[in-house]
Chain A
Amino acid sequence: MVVQYKCPNCGADMAFDSKSGKLTCDSCGREETIGTMPQSNISYQSTDNKNYFKENEANEYKCNNCGASLITDSLTSATRCSFCGAGVVLADRLSGKLAPSLVIPFKISKDQAKEAFKTWCKKGLLTPKGFMNADRITSITGLYVPFWLYDLDCDGEANATCTKVRTYEQGDYIVTETSYFNVYRRVKLEYDRVPQDASEKMDDQLMERLEPYHYHELKDFQMPYLAGFIAEKYSYDDKSLLSKVKQRVSRYVENYIHSTILGYTTTTYTTKNISVAQKKAHYVLLPVWMVCYDYKKAQHTFAMNGQTGKIVGKPPLSFGKILLMFTGISTLSFLIMQLITIIAGGMS
């Protein structure tokens, strides 16, 4: 099932505009609020069951405009027609079990993303000069990445032996007094909407670095948000990713417990019990700009948080700059220490 949004004015294809948060027509500039888009202007490929789509009912999709085959892989849920450029949404891949409950729409437009990326390249203190100046973005793609947001109940319990050490001098002796304590902590914690990327194509670490997304801008999912962007459906369901999230949150709980044990010199845990239970998982689409960048014949891929503009990805590093930085910082700290020496020498 292919869905396209036609401009009520001129009939051209409309796309979601990150700036206004509305569907916008590129040809005549008409804006249409997402909730009020007239049904008659939503073009469906098959007209008999407008409001109900079965999951994954078709394997091949055709553009409503030009009839060309849409080149998609099995996970794509929104794309652009590679012939006429119309933004199309594959509705059956967003329905039933595959229907996202929430979405954060793009807030950063393509041009802003390009600009932000260029600024970021220039900011890199260790990146080679050529990388900073060159303007070789080969492609920039707005992508809605499927995520699961988990609500979790955590119960953490820990026993530890802690010590307080006091050292003082007594005559010719150095006395070390070590006091031992049995320390117990139990915490009940609730973690809300912990994200886990559900797309197998995306690098988990890269996605984790993109966080955090600001959840106050989460919207109930509606298909028009995807118009003009690429979207994917999840490749893993919430159950199969739960263990990953549990691992991550267990770490959080451990840190939390540790932060409640204060005032000791050493802490040695004897027992630790942490249980994490899933209360709920929300299927959401989060906006990511993927930037491919050509540098010295190698492709570098960067990801940008489509809401906050945070950029992640490994830029090339310049050996010369690293050396320069290292020398600079070392010299500076040496001078500071020398200064301290003079001050200390002056006082004694």
Chain B
Amino acid sequence: MFAVFAKKHRILLSSFTLFLLILCLIPPSYIKASKEDSKIYDYYQLFEEDEKQDLEETLNQYSDEGEVDIIVITTDDLEGKSKQVYMEDFYDFNALGYDKEFGDTVLLMLYMNPNDRSVEIQGYKSAEHYINNQRIEAILDEIVPFLSNGDYTSAIKKYAELAADYMKREVPAPPKSSPSDNRNPSSSNTVPNYNSNHTNLSNQYETPLLNPLYQLIASFIIGGITVGIMAYNSGGRITTNNRTYLNESNSALVAHHDIYLRTTTKRVQKPKNDDNNIGGGHTGGGTSSGGHSHSGGGRGF
């Protein structure tokens, strides 16, 4: 619990500084513009003006259909943040939402840095529930082929279509969850369900070693093993070993050799669709510095 606090504290502090920085950098007119019903934030200028118009229309249409703000960002500058944090800050800063500020939103970001071209999707509020990590993976499966071919408009249209579709379809109950997790979809501001809650935990920490859930399991294992050994040894331990009765002066290694035979080399490509960030793909939500939890996922293309 302390760790979470320290972690949040650190993020809060750094994001606050960043927030001030952004305030200084972004012209006031832009802030105004962002408050309007724009769905595309094309900082990278990936699209022609007419393409943009077309996409804007499509996104608006699907947004209404799915009752969710379907947003697209393109950029090659994360302002020194990670992709996830950049998007979280984007959500917090623009107070996105379909029906209200900080409402139901699904964000897609095309990160166009030539060294790490990738796509990232996050779902907020009820979209966190409906567009959960598994569904984000499914969306990514559909759109990454388009992106790899450079067909960005088709990718975005597909994304909007799938997002709107998923918003209308109930999530199958995750295994092991209690019935209460299968809550009424219309209550949009409810606590994240079991599934996203779980993945929140796993994404908030860089390594599983720092994840409280794993730590809890590990402590139970340690406790179990220790008590098991104690119970086993309660009847007295064997304190003799292979040296106890050895007459060292008359014992020796009399012959030995270590002959090198051969070396085999195996080369494996670094995983792409793995759970960790090394390969470019990952799954998992998190919580923005503004305190909005979300689902998430991304991969390179």
Contact = CB atoms under 8 A, between A and B. Distances in A.
Interface of A: 124-127, 161-162, 169-170, 172-194, 208-212, 251-253, 255-256, 259-260, 310-315, 317, 322, 325-334, 337-338, 341-342, 344-346, 348
**6 closest cross-chain pairs (CB), A and B:** A312-B236, A330-B223, A252-B242, A334-B219, A190-B250, A341-B3
Given A127-B234, A184-B257, A314-B235, 18 more contacts: A126-B230, A173-B267, A173-B268, A176-B266, A178-B265, A179-B263, A187-B251, A187-B253, A194-B245, A312-B236, A317-B231, A322-B227, A325-B230, A326-B226, A328-B223, A329-B223, A330-B222, A345-B210
B246 A172 contact: no
B150 interface: no
Contact of A337 (B219, B234, B264, B268): B219
A191 B241 CA distance: 12
A328 B220 CA distance: 10
Contacts of A124: 234
A126 B227 CA distance: 9
B219 A333 contact: yes
Given A191-B245, A331-B219, A180 B262 contact: yes
B6 A188 contact: no
B25 interface: no
14 contacts: A126-B231, A169-B270, A174-B270, A175-B265, A184-B255, A192-B245, A192-B247, A209-B235, A256-B242, A310-B239, A329-B222, A329-B227, A332-B219, A341-B210
B256 A345 contact: no
A173 B270 contact: yes
Contact of A334 (B215, B237, B254): B215
B183 to A, nearest CB: 30
B242 A185 contact: no
A322 B245 contact: no
Interface residues of B, number: 57
A209 B236 contact: yes
A189 B257 contact: no
Contacts of A161: 261
Nearest to B249: A190
B122 to A, nearest CB: 23
A212 B239 contact: yes
A41 to B, nearest CB: 39
A245 to B, nearest CB: 10
Nearest to A336: B219
A120 to B, nearest CB: 10
Nearest to B268: A174
Given A315-B235, A345-B3, A252 B246 contact: yes
A126 B244 CA distance: 29
A175 B270 CA distance: 10
Interface in B249-288: 250-270
Interface in B198-225: 205-206, 209-210, 212, 215-216, 218-220, 222-224
Nearest to A184: B257
B223 to A, nearest CB: 3
A336 B224 CA distance: 16
Contacts of B246: 189-192, 252, 256
A190 B251 contact: yes
B10 to A, nearest CB: 7
B223 A322 contact: no
B259 A172 contact: no
Contacts of A344: 210
Nearest to B261: A180
Nearest to B212: A338
A186 B222 contact: no
A333 B218 contact: yes
Contacts of A346: 6
A32 to B, nearest CB: 35
A187 B224 contact: no
B24 interface: no
B215 A330 contact: no
A333 B223 CA distance: 8
Contacts of A260: 253, 256
Contact of A190 (B216, B241, B247, B262): B247
Contact of A345 (B7, B222, B223): B7
B26 interface: no
Contacts of B237: 209
Contacts of B223: 325-330, 333
Contact of B242 (A208, A251, A310, A328): A251
A35 to B, nearest CB: 29
Given A317-B231, A330-B222, A345-B210, A173 B260 contact: no
B137 to A, nearest CB: 22
B251 A338 contact: no
Contacts of A181: 258-261
A340 B227 CA distance: 23
Contact of A313 (B212, B236, B264): B236
B218 A337 contact: yes
Contacts of A208: 238, 240
A211 B231 CA distance: 20
Contacts of A310: 236, 239
Contacts of B242: 251-253, 255-256, 259
B247 A191 contact: yes
A194 B217 CA distance: 43
B30 interface: no
B251 A188 contact: yes
A260 B253 CA distance: 8
Contacts of A169: 270
A169 B262 CA distance: 21
Interface in B135-175: none
